[in-house]
Amino acid sequence: MQRMEKTVKAGGFATARVATARVATIKDVASLARVSIKTVSRVVNKEANVQDQTRQRVLEAVAELNYQPNTAARGLSGKRSYCLGLLYENARESGYFKDVLNGALRTSAAEGYGLLLRPFTLPSESLAADVRQFVLQTRVDGILLTAPLSDYTDVTAVLDELHIPYVQMTPRNSRPGVPNILCNDAEASCAVTEYVMSLGHQRIGFIKGHPEHRAAVERLAGYRLALQKAQLKYEPSLVRPGYFDFESGKKAARALLRLTSPPTAIIASNDDMAAGVVYEAHELGLAIPGQLSVVGFDDTPTASHIWPPLTTVRQPIDAMAAQAIWLLTKTIRGQQLPEVTQPFECQLVLRASTAARGTYQAVEEN
């Protein structure tokens, strides 16, 4: 395939040299198939009145060149946008995904951009290929990569190769020039662990998050740091694997609570798993926070809707997504980015699922 060198003027500061792989147009297909562009158009749009043999030749050329019709040209000519609108009520209820969505939509609209969503079901064999396909097909100008997609190096490799700007929402340090938005996960995790210790707990269980999420790694690090600062021994049996979902939280809780010397508090790396802990405690007839304190992460709606409501850590997800999009649009326009991005501050949300060890327990045991 041909290559084109293009010089991009970057707002006063740098001058970037971008090599863009020229994508095939209808003309390329037409000349390869030795027909007119109109005939290609007919085939692509499944119109009638094309000979089978001709159609075949065109389809082969389309496949060979990996031709994707240009939506803008189509829209301009055909007076259609090839886009549908989905209108919905923006409920007060939040949640990680919805917060990201809100922040991203608000900011991209303000900056004059539309926002196309693309979900990926993990694990996936074809992740990188699917990402490439998405970019090529939609021709988006930039990409916001949320966790844990931001943590897959083959995904970022594809984006780098396609020379498409992107921003990561993850604590992982990326290569210089690619901004990433993060909050002080480790610090917050350390703080919440210290809070639990301040309530008198010594044996504190910890349920890890999905090992492919960088944030999960950070949260565990914060927990370990707090133990270390308090000169408490890190006990591997008190740390169980988890995958950020309710079921794995339940399972980990069961294992922890069956220990000969079970923890008096459990910190889960997110609210869904913490809800699993609470569920399991109910099943076992353990009083929360009387006999067991529980802490979550993220402050999802679930955190405040279960009983007792969870002590948890809130991240300013909406604001983080907003900043991510803002950085992305700046990058696209070739503007200089602020060198260092401050991590966002997490916030400790105290609710009824944690209490001092002993005190409360005595009351309950009346």
Residue with Cβ nearer its own copies (227 or 317): 317
Task: Give the list of residues 6+ apart from residue 283 with CB closer than 8 angstroms, or none.
Answer: none
Distance CA 45, CA 40 (A): 8
The site partner of 41 among its own copies, DNA, none (C-beta below 5 to 8 Å per kind) is: DNA
**Nearest approach, Cβ of residue 307 and DNA (Å):** 55
What are all long-range contacts of 327-332, with beta carbons under 8 Å and residues at least 24 apart?
A: 327/167, 327/179, 327/181, 328/142, 328/143, 328/144, 328/165, 328/166, 328/167, 329/107, 329/108, 329/111, 329/113, 329/142, 331/142, 331/165, 331/167, 331/179, 332/141, 332/142, 332/165
Residue with Cβ nearer DNA (15 or 36): 36
The site partner of 50 among its own copies, DNA, none (C-beta below 5 to 8 Å per kind) is: DNA
**Residue the block writes with tokens 């562009």:** 37
**Nearest approach, Cβ of residue 116 and DNA (Å):** 18
**Nearest approach, Cβ of residue 65 and DNA (Å):** 10
The site partner of 139 among its own copies, DNA, none (C-beta below 5 to 8 Å per kind) is: its own copies
**Nearest approach, Cβ of residue 241 and DNA (Å):** 48
Phi, psi of 301 (to 5 degrees): -55, -40
**Nearest approach, Cβ of residue 332 and DNA (Å):** 12
**Nearest approach, Cβ of residue 79 and DNA (Å):** 7
Distance CA 168, CA 25 (A): 31
Residue with Cβ nearer its own copies (141 or 187): 141
Residue with Cβ nearer its own copies (279 or 344): 279
Residue with Cβ nearer its own copies (99 or 185): 99
Residue with Cβ nearer its own copies (11 or 229): 11
Q: For binding to DNA (CB under 7 A), which residues are involved?
A: 25-27, 34-39, 41-42, 44-45, 48-51, 53-55, 67, 69-70, 73-74, 76-79
The site partner of 114 among its own copies, DNA, none (C-beta below 5 to 8 Å per kind) is: its own copies
Q: Are 210 and 243 in contact, with CB atoms under 8 Å apart?
A: yes
Q: Is 204 helix (H, G, I), strand (E, B) or coil?
A: strand
Residue with Cβ nearer its own copies (200 or 308): 308
Q: Are 272 and 310 in contact, with CB atoms under 8 Å apart?
A: no
The site partner of 255 among its own copies, DNA, none (C-beta below 5 to 8 Å per kind) is: none
The site partner of 37 among its own copies, DNA, none (C-beta below 5 to 8 Å per kind) is: DNA
Given CA atoms 150, 154, 155, 157 in this order, what sign does their dihedral have?
A: positive
Phi, psi of 88 (to 5 degrees): -150, 160
Phi, psi of 27 (to 5 degrees): -65, -40
Residue with Cβ nearer its own copies (179 or 276): 276
Distance CA 303, CA 136 (A): 40
Q: Is 251 helix (H, G, I), strand (E, B) or coil?
A: helix
**Nearest approach, Cβ of residue 123 and its own copies (Å):** 10
The site partner of 51 among DNA, its own copies, none (C-beta below 5 to 8 Å per kind) is: DNA
**Nearest approach, Cβ of residue 43 and DNA (Å):** 9
The site partner of 360 among DNA, its own copies, none (C-beta below 5 to 8 Å per kind) is: none
Strands 180-181 and 204-207 turn out to be: unpaired
